[in-house]
Each structure stands twice: as C-alpha cells, then as structure tokens.
Structure 1
Amino acid sequence: MTEIFENIRKLYQFYVPDNELADFIEFFSESSATETFRHVANNRFSIRMFPSWTPTFYINLGAPYLLTVGARQHEISSRTDVLILRNTLVERHNLPTDHILTVKFFPGGLEAVLGINQAQFVDQVVNLETVLPPGLLHQIKQPAVFEERLELLQHFFLEQLRVRKKTNHYRTFVTDTIGTFGASGLELKTAELADRLFITSKTINRYFHRVIGTPPKAYLATVRTRTALSAYVANPSLFSPYDYGYYDMSHFYKDVVKFTGRKLRENVG
C-alpha cells in the first residue's frame, strides 16, 4: 500500500487530539486486527510513505517487521520500539500479525512536548527507550485496548507539555511561516516569506534548520507536493495546478516524480 495513492488509514484506529496536544501531535493510531485481516488476509504486506518531516513513534505490540528508511533496511524485533523523522521515503514490510501503535508529531511538536529537537534524527532509526521512559513503554504493552494506551500516552505528554509552557520562539516562528506559505496559495519563495514576516532569508533558513532539520525551500516544497498530490488523487477532474502554486501540469508532474520516485500515471489510473 502506498500513502496518498491508497487509504493506508483503513488498517488502523485513529484519534486526533482535541486538547492542548492538538497543535503538536497530528494523530495517535493503532493497528486494527479486524481491518488488517479484511484487507490483507494472511498475506505479508508493506506500507510505503513519502517524506513529511514529522517525527513518528512506532511502538511494536505485535510481530517483527522490516523497516526501510531511505536506502537502508532495519530489522525491528517484536520488543523494539522506534522513532523516525520521516525525512525520506519510508516503507514498513509487515507480517499479517502486524500490530503497531503510532504517534505522529507535527514538525517541531516533539520539541514542544518533550524538549527534544528533531533535527538530530535525520536519516536515523532511534530506539524509543532513549526518548520515552521504559516504564511507560512497558505499561503501554500490557494487555489493553487502544483507548487505555491512548490515555497513558496523553497523560504523559500533557504533563511534559505543561512543564514547558514557556513559548518556544523558534517553533512558533516556523509554524507561522508555514501558515503564511499555506495562506499564499503555496507559492511564496523564501525571500518573499521573509519580506512578509519582516525578517531576513538567512534567519528563516536558520530557524527551519533549528526546528525541522531542513531549509525552508525543501520543507515547503514537500508541503506543496503532498497537498497538491492528495488533491489530485482525490479528484483528478477538478484538479488545477495553479491552485497550488504550479506554473502548469508539467511543473506539477515533475514535482510528483521528484517526490515519489514514480511517474504519476504509474500510480493513478
């Protein structure tokens, strides 16, 4: 299954925070045994995901799996939990007994909640015990339902967040810049964003490197391509490249190839 082109969420239960965590965590999810069997039966399967620069926790509640991050493969045992940044292509190769609890942060969210800068995790697969207390992970892995695990994680994250109530200037600025880019129709360049925000291009670059781990040009290009491609897949007949800051369809096609590694017609009939 491939993200954007296919609904990979159909295999999971989802929860989107509606509390103080909403600005920092995109979602929590857990594999659904019923839905997994319905869609893949007893077959091995894989889930392919494109870059998003969103720190993501994978807490393993089931079988071992193989994780490909960029050009490297990592064998993840049934006892191992990991953190990845998703700054490159990621693919999870799973057994039918796949059972993963996922926490996906927004860019900068990991630092806001846990005080951990995400830039250090570029191209890394990090043991989650270096980020979360082993005791908490042990509790999460006890026989329970999704809602019980969710309560444990949210309680921990909210406590950590309240310790860090002081506004993070860097993260706030990056979030405002991303919002300005979105409001512009996804077409403002770094220098134009700098003018809008009354700051220098050099400062914007420094802040994005500090919070996300990549320059604004690269990150905002990812935002635009993901947004445009999702809209195209949802309704090709109504799609206009001009709505997403592209010069024409050719410009959009080139970005899709650069982003996914495939031509659009190989994924969309």
Structure 2
Amino acid sequence: MVEIFQNIRKIYRFSAPCEELVNYIEFYSQSVLDLSVQQVKAEFSTVKMFPSWTPTFYINLGSPYYIDLKNTRYHVKEQQDVLLLRNEDVTRHKLTTDNIFTVKFNPGGLEAVLGLNQVPVIDKLIDLNQILPRQLLQKIKQPLSFEERVVIIETFLLDKLIKQTTPDHYVKMVNDSIGEYRGTGMQLNTSKVAERLFITSKTINRYFNRVIGTAPKNYFSIMRGRNALTAFVNDRENFVPIDYGYYDLSHFHKDVMNLTGQRITKHQF
C-alpha cells in the first residue's frame, strides 16, 4: 500500500482531537480488527508513507513489525511503542494481526503539548517509554475500545498542554506561518508569508528549522504536494492545479514525482 495513492484509511479508524488540541494534533487512529477487512489487510503487507514532518506515536497493541527508515530496517517488538518523525519516506511492514494505536501530531505539536522539540527525532526511531509514563502506556494497552483509548490519551495530553504555562514564541510563529500559507490557498512563497507576519525571510527560516527541523520552503512544498495529490486522487476529473499554486498539470506531476518518487501515471484511480 502506498500512502495517498491508495486508500489507507479503509484499514484504520480515525478520531479528531478535541477543540483545545486541534492546533497540535492531526488525529488519533487504530487498526480495524473487523473480520470484514482482513482480506484487505492481507493485500497490503507494507505501507509506504511519504514525508510529512509530523511526530507520530505508534502504540503497539498487536504483532511485531518492521519499519524501514533511512536505509535501516528496525524490528519493533510486540510490546514496543515508538515515536517517529516521518521526515523522509518510511515503510512499515505488517501482518494481518497488525493492531496499532496512533497519535499523529502536527509539526511543532509535540513541543507545544509536551515541551519536546521534534528536531532531535530526525532520522530516528525513539522508544516511547522515554516520552510517556509507563503506567499510561500500560493503561492504553488494556482490552479497551478505540474510543476509550482516545479519552485516556487525550486527557493526558490536555493536562500536559494546560501545564505549559509559557507559550513558545517559536512554535506560535511557525503555526501562524502555516496557517497563513494554508489560508491563502498555498499560493504564497516563503518571503510573502514572512511579510504578512511582519518578520524577515531570515527569521522565518530560523524559526522553522528550530521548531520543525526543515526550512519553510521545503515544508510548504511538502504540505502543498500532499494536499494536492490527495485532492487529485479523490476527484481527478475536477482537480484544478492552479487551486494549489501549480501552473499546470505538468508542474503538478513534476512536484508529485519529487515528493513521492513515483509517477501518477503508474497508479490507477
């Protein structure tokens, strides 16, 4: 299975965060265990994911699996939980008994909620026991429903956010920059975004590298490419490249190739 090109959502359940956390967390998810999707899961022994710079918790409720990251294959044991940044292509090899509970943060969200900068996570697989209390992980691993697990982790994260008494200026400025870029239809370059926020291009570059770990130009390109490709796959006939800042379809195809390493024409929709 290739992320975006194929519908990865049909083998997972999803839940949006509460209003207080919506700026920092993209979603919670868990593998679907219903027997009706077992055949679908069997068809996809791997899941290839493209860069997103989104710190993600993978809490293992089922079988061991392998992750390919930066030309290295990691064995994640049955009871092992990990944190992954997804700053490059990542491939997860899985079984039909796969059962993962996931918390996907927005860029900078890990720092805003838990006070942990994501830059040191670049190209690494971090044991989640170094990040979350062991008691919390054990509680999530109990035989509970997806909704109950969401309540447990969200209560913990909301409490942590409330205790972050001093808002991080760097994180706020990066979030504002991303909001400005998204709000203007992903049409602006880095200099224009900086201008709208009354900061210099040098400053916005420093902030992004400090909070996310990459330059705003690279992050905006990834953000635009992922959003545009998702829209294209969902409704190819009505896709308009200029809506995402592309000159034409050729420009869009080239950007997708740069992001994914794959040609759109390779896939059937």
User: 3-state DSSP class of the match of 2:93?
Assistant: strand
Q: Which amino acid aligns with 2:215?
A: P
**What per-residue deviation string (whole Å, max 9, x for no partner) do you get for residues 196-226 of structure 1?**
2211111000100111110000000001101
- Provide runs of 4+ in structure 1 moved above 3 Å: none
Question: Does 1:39 find its partner at 2:43?
Answer: no
Question: Where does residue 168 of structure 1 map in the other structure?
Answer: 168
Report how far residue 36 of structure 1 moved.
3.9
Distance in 2 between residues matched to 1:182 and 1:6, nearest whole Å: 24
| CA pair 76-36 structure 1, distance change in 2 beyond 3 A | farther
Gaps of 5+ in 1: none
Query: Quick check: 1:119–1:210 contact (8 Å CA) kept in 2?
Result: yes
Distance in 2 between residues matched to 1:36 and 1:210, nearest whole Å: 42
| CA pair 192-142 structure 1, distance change in 2 beyond 3 A | same
Q: Which amino acid aligns with 2:41?
A: V
Report how far residue 143 of structure 1 moved.
2.0
Question: Where does residue 7 of structure 1 map in the other structure?
Answer: 7
Task: Map 1:1-269; keep pairs closer than 5 Å.
Answer: 1-34=1-34, 36-41=37-42, 45-269=45-269
Q: TM-score, normalised by structure 2?
A: 0.95
Gaps of 5+ in 2: none
Distance in 1 between residues matched to 2:22 and 2:244, nearest whole Å: 26
Query: Quick check: 1:5–1:233 contact (8 Å CA) kept in 2?
Result: yes
Q: Which amino acid aligns with 2:232?
A: Y
Q: Which amino acid aligns with 2:13?
A: Q
Q: TM-score, normalised by structure 1?
A: 0.95
User: 3-state DSSP class of the match of 1:33?
Assistant: coil
Q: Which amino acid aligns with 1:70?
A: K
User: 3-state DSSP class of the match of 2:255?
Assistant: helix
Query: Quick check: 2:13–2:32 contact (8 Å CA) kept in 1?
Result: yes
User: 3-state DSSP class of the match of 1:51?
Assistant: coil
Distance in 1 between residues matched to 2:252 and 2:12, nearest whole Å: 31
Distance in 2 between residues matched to 1:140 and 1:183, nearest whole Å: 36
**What per-residue deviation string (whole Å, max 9, x for no partner) do you get for residues 134-172 of structure 1?**
121112112222222222211111111110143221111
Query: Quick check: 1:68–1:92 contact (8 Å CA) kept in 2?
Result: yes
Distance in 2 between residues matched to 1:111 and 1:216, nearest whole Å: 18
Q: Which amino acid aligns with 1:106?
A: N
Query: Quick check: 1:36–1:96 contact (8 Å CA) kept in 2?
Result: no
User: 3-state DSSP class of the match of 2:208?
Assistant: helix
Query: Quick check: 1:50–1:88 contact (8 Å CA) kept in 2?
Result: yes
User: 3-state DSSP class of the match of 2:136?
Assistant: helix
Distance in 2 between residues matched to 1:140 and 1:165, nearest whole Å: 27
Cα RMSD for the two superposed structures: 1.5
How many residues are treated as equivalent by the alignment? 268
Distance in 2 between residues matched to 1:59 and 1:124, nearest whole Å: 16
Distance in 2 between residues matched to 1:164 and 1:214, nearest whole Å: 24
Report how far residue 126 of structure 1 moved.
0.5
Distance in 1 between residues matched to 2:170 and 2:44, nearest whole Å: 43
Query: Quick check: 1:233–1:268 contact (8 Å CA) kept in 2?
Result: no
